[in-house]
C-alpha cells in the first residue's frame, strides 16, 4: 500500500509516492504546463528506474491531473511487475494534499469532505494562484481514485497559535471581527518540517529552541519559532506580504497603493496584476523572476540585476534581525527553499552583519554546502543550517496518521 502526495500549483503539480509502512519515497512526478494552456508534460521518476516523460493533451487543469494520475498508476503497476515478477496493481491507501489556506477554522491535518472544501472556497480570493489549483487537484483525485480518502495539510495551520498581538493589524478592530482580516502566515508545511529537522540536527529538544526559518524561493517567507511553535510569519492576510519575491512585491507602503490608484489612473485589477506578477525580482531587475538568472546577469555587470539582489538580501537580513529580537535571542538560522538551499551568495550576504546576534558564518562551509548541513563556524554561538525542505514527506506522514487515527476510532466504536 502507498501514500500519494499532491502539491498543486498554478502551473505545476508535484506528485510523490510513499510506502505506507516505511514512508520511503518510491516515485516522484511533475506535471508541468510550461506556459501552454492545452498541453502538459508529465515526468515520472521511479526509484532505481529510468524516468518516464509523456505529453498530455488536456482542455483544462482538472482533466490534466486526472490523466496524470492514471498514467502514474499505470507506470507504478509496470514498475512493480518488473520488480516483483507478477502482476500487482498500484494501490493508494490515502492521498495527502498540500493546501494553502484553511483560515481560522482548520488548525490541523483533516480528512477532506464537502465542509472542508467549502472552507477552502471561502478563501480562494486571498491566494488566487494556489487555492483554485488545490481544489482542482482534490476534484481530480476524486475522479481518478474515488474510493481513496484524501487528507489536507494547510499552510496556515502551523500558525494557528500566533498570539493576537502578532496576528492583528493596526486597523479598526471590527475589520477582524466582521471581515476576518488578520495575519495568517504561509509556507507552514515547509516551516514545520524544518523545525523538526533543525532540532534533530542540533540534537536538542524543541522546548527551549529558538529558530528563524527562511523559506526562500519564488515565494518567500520567514517564521520565528519558539518551543516548536510558530510565533509569527512574514506573510500576512495573503501571501503578498513580507519579503520581496520572484514576481510579488512583498510589503510596500499602503500609501503608495492609494497614490497610484487615486492619482495615477491605475485600476484595482491593474494594481493586482502588478503586485502579484510584475514586481519583486522581475520588476526591479527587468531580467527575470528566477533568482539564478538574476544572479547570472549581475555577474555580467547588469546594474539593475545587482540592485534587485541587494534589495532582496537587505530585506531578508533585516527581517531575520527583527524576528530574532522577537524571540529574545537566536539558537539557529535556517535556510531552505530553492534559493535558500542553493544560493551561496544570498546566504553569505544575509549573514553579513548578523555577527551582533552571535552568528558567524564559515565561508568555506557555505561555498560547499549541500543540504542538510551546518555552515556556521565551530565557535559560533548561533548555528546556521541549510535544510532541504521535505514537505512531501511531512504530508505523507500526517496523511498516514489521520487515516490510522480514523481506523482506530472506527474499530473502537
Q: What is the pLDDT of residues 356-407, one digit of tens each?
A: 999 999 999 999 999 999 999 999 999 999 999 999 999 999 999 999 998 7
DSSP 382: B
Per-residue model confidence (pLDDT) at position 157: 95
Task: Report the pLDDT value the prediction gives residue 410, as an integer from 0 to 100.
Answer: 63
Cα–Cα distance measured from residue 413 to residue 408, given in angstroms and rounded to the nearest whole number: 9
Peptide bond into 134 cis (omega under 30): no
Share of the chain above pLDDT 90, in %: 78
Considering the chain, what is the average pLDDT of its residues? 92
pLDDT (0 to 100) of residue 163: 96
Strand 39-46 and strand 52-57: pairing?
antiparallel
Contacts of 379 (CB under 8 A, 6+ apart): 360
pLDDT at 83 > cutoff 70: no
Q: Is 306 helix (H, G, I), strand (E, B) or coil?
A: helix
Across the range 34-41, mean pLDDT stands at 76
Say if residues 120 and 99 touch (Cβ distance below 8 Å): yes
pLDDT in tens, 181-237: 999 999 999 999 999 999 999 999 999 999 999 999 999 999 999 999 999 999 999
DSSP lists the bridge partners of residue 19 as 2
Per-residue pLDDT of 322-345, as tens digits, reads: 999 999 999 999 999 999 999 999
79 has pLDDT over 80? no
How many Å apart are CA 185 and CA 53, to the nearest integer? 36
- The pLDDT confidence band at residue 85, using thresholds 50, 70 and 90, is very low
Give the pLDDT confidence score for residue 78 in this predicted structure.
Answer: 54
In whole angstroms, give the CA distance from residue 56 to residue 34.
12
- The span from the CA of 378 to the CA of 375, in Å, is 9
Band of pLDDT at residue 88, cut at 50, 70 and 90: very low
pLDDT at 89: 41
Between 344-351 and 303-327, two packed helices, what is the crossing angle to 10 degrees?
50
Burial 258-293 (b: 16+ CB within 10 A, else e): eeeeeeeebeeeeeeebbbeebbbbbbbebbbbbee
Tell me whether residue 155 is one of the annotated catalytic residues: yes
d(CA 240, CA 101): 13
Which runs of consecutive H residues, i.e. helices, occur in 145-227?
Answer: 164-167, 174-179, 188-202
Q: No. of H helices and E strands in the chain?
A: 15, 14
**Coil, strand or helix: which one is 249?**
coil
Q: What percent of the chain has pLDDT over 70?
A: 94
Q: What is the DSSP letter of 100?
A: S
The predicted pLDDT at position 80 comes to: 54
> Residue 56: pLDDT band by 50, 70, 90 thresholds?
confident
CA-based Rg of the chain, rounded to a whole angstrom? Answer: 22
DSSP state of 361: B
| Domains along the chain with CATH numbers | 2-159 (3.30.420.40), 188-391 (3.30.420.40)
Rounded Cα–Cα distance for residues 233 and 167 (Å): 9
Q: Which one from 19, 113, 155, 362 is the annotated catalytic residue?
A: 155
Pairing of strands 210-216, 229-233: unpaired
Q: What is the DSSP letter of 158?
A: G
Q: d(Cα 151, Cα 119) in Å, to the nearest integer?
A: 14
Tens digits of residue pLDDT in 98-131: 999 999 999 999 999 999 999 999 998 888 878 9
| 239 pLDDT higher than 80 | yes
d(CA 91, CA 45): 18
Q: What is the mean pLDDT of residues 36-54?
A: 83
The more confidently predicted of residues 45 and 388 is: 388
Residue 34 has pLDDT above 90, yes or no: no
The predicted pLDDT at position 406 comes to 86
Residue 347 phi/psi, 5-degree rounding, is -60, -45
* SS3 of residue 313 by DSSP: helix
Least confident of 132-141, 253-262, 280-289: 132-141
Amino acid at each position: 500500500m502507498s501514500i500519494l502526495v499532491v502539491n498543486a500549483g498554478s502551473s505545476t503539480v508535484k506528485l510523490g509516492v510513499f510506502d505506507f509502512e516505511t514512508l520511503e519515497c518510491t516515485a516522484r512526478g511533475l506535471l508541468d504546463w510550461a506556459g501552454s494552456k492545452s498541453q502538459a508534460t508529465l515526468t515520472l521518476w521511479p526509484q532505481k528506474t529510468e524516468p518516464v516523460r509523456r505529453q498530455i493533451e488536456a482542455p483544462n487543469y482538472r482533466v490534466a491531473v486526472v490523466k496524470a494520475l492514471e498514467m502514474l498508476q499505470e507506470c507504478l503497476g509496470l514498475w512493480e511487475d518488473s520488480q516483483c515478477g507478477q502482476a500487482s496493481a498500484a494501490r493508494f491507501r490515502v492521498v495527502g494534499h498540500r493546501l494553502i489556506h484553511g483560515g481560522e477554522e482548520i488548525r490541523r491535518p483533516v480528512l477532506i469532505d464537502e465542509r472542508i472544501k467549502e472552507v477552502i472556497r471561502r478563501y480562494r480570493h486571498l491566494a488566487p494562484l494556489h487555492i483554485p489549483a488545490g481544489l482542482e487537484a482534490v476534484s481530480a483525485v476524486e475522479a481518478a481514485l474515488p474510493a481513496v480518502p484524501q487528507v489536507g495539510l494547510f499552510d496556515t495551520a502551523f500558525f494557528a497559535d500566533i498570539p493576537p498581538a502578532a496576528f492583528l493589524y493596526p486597523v479598526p478592530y471590527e475589520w477582524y471581527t466582521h471581515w476576518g482580516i488578520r495575519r495568517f502566515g504561509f509556507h507552514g508545511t515547509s516551516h514545520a518540517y524544518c523545525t523538526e529537522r533543525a532540532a534533530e540536527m542540533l540534537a536538542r529538544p524543541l522546548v527551549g529552541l529558538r529558530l528563524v526559518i527562511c523559506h526562500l524561493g519564488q515565494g518567500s517567507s520567514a517564521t520565528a519559532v519558539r518551543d516548536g511553535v510558530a510565533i509569527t510569519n512574514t506573510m500576512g492576510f495573503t501571501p503578498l506580504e513580507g519579503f520581496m519575491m520572484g514576481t510579488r512585491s512583498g510589503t510596500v507602503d499602503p500609501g503608495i497603493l492609494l497614490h497610484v490608484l487615486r492619482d495615477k489612473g491605475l485600476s484595482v485589477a491593474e494594481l493586482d496584476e502588478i503586485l502579484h506578477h510584475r514586481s519583486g525580482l522581475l520588476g526591479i531587475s527587468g531580467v527575470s523572476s528566477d533568482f539564478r538568472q538574476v544572479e547570472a546577469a549581475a555577474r555580467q555587470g547588469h546594474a539593475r540585476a545587482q540592485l534587485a539582489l541587494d534589495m532582496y538580501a537587505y530585506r531578508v537580513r533585516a527581517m531575520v534581525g527583527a524576528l530574532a529580537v522577537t524571540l529574545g535571542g537566536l539558537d539557529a538560522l535556517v535556510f531552505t527553499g530553492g534559493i535558500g538551499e542553493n544560493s551561496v551568495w544570498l546566504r553569505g550576504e544575509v549573514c553579513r552583519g548578523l555577527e551582533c546576534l552571535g552568528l558567524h558564518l564559515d565561508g568555506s562551509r557555505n561555498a560547499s554546502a549541500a543540504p542538510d548541513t551546518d555552515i556556521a563556524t565551530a565557535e559560533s554561538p548561533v548555528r546556521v543550517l541549510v535544510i532541504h525542505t521535505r514537505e512531501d514527506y511531512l504530508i505523507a506522514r500526517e496523511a498516514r496518521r489521520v487515516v490510522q487515527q480514523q481506523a482506530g476510532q472506527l474499530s473502537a466504536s
